[in-house]
Amino acid sequence: MKDQIDQLIHRLNGQSLLYQDNGPTQQIITQIPLFFNNSQTDLTIKWNGKKQADGTIDPAFCRIIFYLQLPRLNETMIDVQIQNRVMNITVRNNSKALEKLVTLYSNELKEHLSNIDYYVTSVKVTPFEKKAEFQGNSIKQVNIQTPQSSYTGVDIKI
C-alpha cells in the first residue's frame, strides 16, 4: 500500500513538468489512473489552447486529445478540436464495432453539448494508420557527394 501511495505522489508531483506556457498558448498534459474490474490503465489528456487573461485555456478555442488503452477496445484516441465553440470529434480505433456505437450515440452527444453552447459538426471514427512496410525496390538510393577540398579551422560567431 505504501508503494502505491508513493507512486501516486510521484505522479502528482511530476504533473507540473508536463505544463508548458508559450506566450499566448498553453499546453497541459494530464494523466489520470483508471481502474476497471480486472485491469488498470491511464487516461492521458493533452490540452492545447489559447491562453485567457486569467491564465486558463480558452474553452472556445482549444484542442483536447484523449488517449487510453482499454481492455476490449484496445488503443483508443479521441481528438476534439474546438473553434469558436464549434467541435469536430475524431475517434481513432481499429475496432470495427466502435463505428456503429459512435453513430448510434452521436446525436445524443450533440444534443448534450448543445445544452452547454457547443455545436458538433462531425463525429467520425477512423482507424490508426498502419506503419509502412519496407519495400525493397521502392526506396531509391541517394548519392551524397562530398566536396573534394577539405576545410580545416574553427569558425566562431559571437
| Angle ∠(68,131,82) on CA atoms, nearest 5 | 45
For residues 93-122, give the mean pLDDT: 91
Confirm whether pTM is higher than 0.75: no
Beta bridge partners of 78: 66, 91
For residues 36-62, give the mean pLDDT: 85
| pLDDT score, position 147 | 47
| pLDDT score, position 83 | 94
Among residues 64, 50, 62, 60, which one has the least CA distance to residue 117? 60
| pLDDT score, position 140 | 46
- The yes-or-no verdict on residue 149 having pLDDT over 80 is no
| 3-7, 78-82, 101-105, 124-128: least confident range | 3-7
Instruction: Tell me which amino acid residue 116 is.
Output: I
CB-CB contact of 92 with 130 (8 Å): no
| pLDDT score, position 40 | 79
- The yes-or-no verdict on residue 53 having pLDDT over 80 is yes
Integer angstrom CA distances of residue 62 from 17, 88, 105, 121, 134: 21, 11, 24, 15, 37
| pLDDT score, position 32 | 79
